[in-house]
Structure 1
Amino acid sequence: MPDVVLPCLNEAVALPWVLARMPAGYHPIVADNGSSDGSAAIAAAHGATVVHASPRGFGAAAHAGLTAAAADVVCFMDADGSFDPRQLPLVAVPVLDGGCDLMLGRRRPTARGAWPLHARLGNAVVAWRLRRSAKVPVHDLGPMRAARREALLALDLTDRRFGYPLEMVTRAAATGWRIAEVDVAYSPRPDGGRSKVTGTVAGTLRAVRDMSRVMTG
């Protein structure tokens, strides 16, 4: 069954909710990226494998979790509670069954404010450029996703910031992977907080900048 990589920075409130909903057989790996709120200890207390990732950056945490994984199929998911882990089979099963090589979860907001307009627009622009330049039929660079571990490592991903998810897709497309997407629910965080990426205009602009560098590099 899959390992589940959860990049984490100060998610002490959300982690118990997330880890309690992990499907049977799905093993969480919390990649702690320098949390100061006890996230690592909370994750360990709830049965997760904890790895410490540096330097600071989403890609650094995601890749540290990937290299620590041992399962054949690895899922990725935000640790802030915006996704319900019980939906992980939607992205994992098609990969486990051999139906595709990389499955992305296309976010479908469940409530107003779950996905702010500025974040949707930034994501739409990147997805449009990806469809046009790489001919990848996706509409969202979904943080919930799944692929086979050895194949992911062979992509030799180098971005350690917000460009990591896009680099995964572009390199997979260039290698001839079968890439697909499936709808997944996207909800407000259970703690009422804001995403570090999509929750602010500044965070979204940083992510778009990092992704643009991947597209042009």
Structure 2
Amino acid sequence: MGDEPPASGEVVLPCLDEAAALPWVLGRIPPGWRAVVVDNGSTDGSAELAASLGAHVVAEPLRGFGAACAAGLHAATAPLVGFCDCDASLDPGLLPLLAAPVLEGRADLVLGRRTPTGPGSWPVHARLANRALARLIRRRTGLHLHDLGPMRVARREALLTLALTDRRSGYPLQMVVHAADAGWRVRETDVPYHPRVGRSKVTGTWRGTRHAVRDMRAVLDEPLHRNTGTAR
């Protein structure tokens, strides 16, 4: 593995007990990209399985989606960094599609707008919460987004300037809010959204959705973020 060329992009995959989904997810990593699996306390052998399948595995003992994402971002070294759920609901093979506008200078952050492939892909309560969140994002940032897509791509160095501090469910939203405050060009592109493999830890339950909404409201209540860096 030491003779492999450096990756042009890396995808951060927050992981908590996703052994059932990992073979498919890691098998879909596109050429030129490397998987950074951030194990967030799995007890089902996810970390060992991911390592055996060729992923770079990072351990993050602090529980929380944002904690895992932050650990993966700081572990990444490639110019481009993507984020993707590790439950097989999204296809990492589509990362080059999201990366293209960034590489071509047409966008600074590209989000995958989820398009459900069937009735079991996206629970109704989660979809309604996402729709309400999109309206709040427009009000706070002026961005006309339809979805806070968990699959996304941006330049690593630029992401580090955003000073993201949320370590729970608010991390994806804080990235978008801080990017908007910094004047980034944020774009959406449609991606298929499949039924996840295994049990959801967040939006699969009303309780998890409520906690996510609480975390995200705290982000929306933050004052304007002053970012001295640039995405270009």
CA distance in 2, matches of 1:108, 1:179: 18
User: How many matched pairs?
Assistant: 215
Amino acid at match of 1:106: R
Q: Is the 8 A contact 1:92 1:147 kept in 2?
A: yes
Q: Corresponding residue for 2:155?
A: 148
Q: Corresponding residue for 2:207?
A: 202
Q: Deviations over 1:60-111 (max 9, x none)?
A: 0000000000011100000000011111122112112221000000000001
The structure having more radius of gyration, on CA atoms, is 2
Pairing 1:168-179 to 2, within 5 Å after superposition: 168-179=175-186
Consecutive unaligned residues of structure 2, counting only runs of 5 or more, are 1-7, 223-232
Q: Corresponding residue for 2:61?
A: 54
Does residue 103 (structure 1) correspond to residue 100 (structure 2)? The answer is no
Q: Is the 8 A contact 1:109 1:187 kept in 2?
A: yes
Q: CA RMSD in A?
A: 0.9
CA distance in 2, matches of 1:194, 1:122: 19
1:180 positional shift: 0.5
CA distance in 2, matches of 1:54, 1:165: 19
CA distance in 2, matches of 1:101, 1:197: 28
CA distance in 2, matches of 1:133, 1:159: 17
Q: Deviations over 1:159-215 (max 9, x none)?
A: 0000000000000000000001000000012x3x33222211111111111000100
Q: Corresponding residue for 2:126?
A: 119
Aligned residue for 2:203, secondary structure, equals coil
Amino acid at match of 1:142: G
Amino acid at match of 1:2: G
Aligned residue for 1:75, secondary structure, equals strand
Aligned residue for 1:129, secondary structure, equals helix
TM-score normalized by the length of structure 1: 0.97
CA distance in 2, matches of 1:41, 1:97: 37
Structure 2 residue corresponding to 1:31, chosen from 29, 38, 56:
38
TM-score normalized by the length of structure 2: 0.91
Task: Decide which moves more: 171-180 or 84-93.
Answer: 84-93
Runs of 4 or more consecutive aligned structure 1 residues displaced over 6 Å after TM superposition: none
Q: Corresponding residue for 2:230?
A: none
Q: Is the 8 A contact 1:197 1:203 kept in 2?
A: yes
Q: Is the 8 A contact 1:34 1:56 kept in 2?
A: yes
CA distance in 2, matches of 1:181, 1:195: 24
Amino acid at match of 2:162: L
Task: Decide which moves more: 94-103 or 69-78.
Answer: 94-103
Structure 2 residue corresponding to 1:183, chosen from 177, 190, 202:
190
1:127 positional shift: 1.0
CA distance in 1, matches of 2:182, 2:170: 18
CA distance in 1, matches of 2:83, 2:71: 12
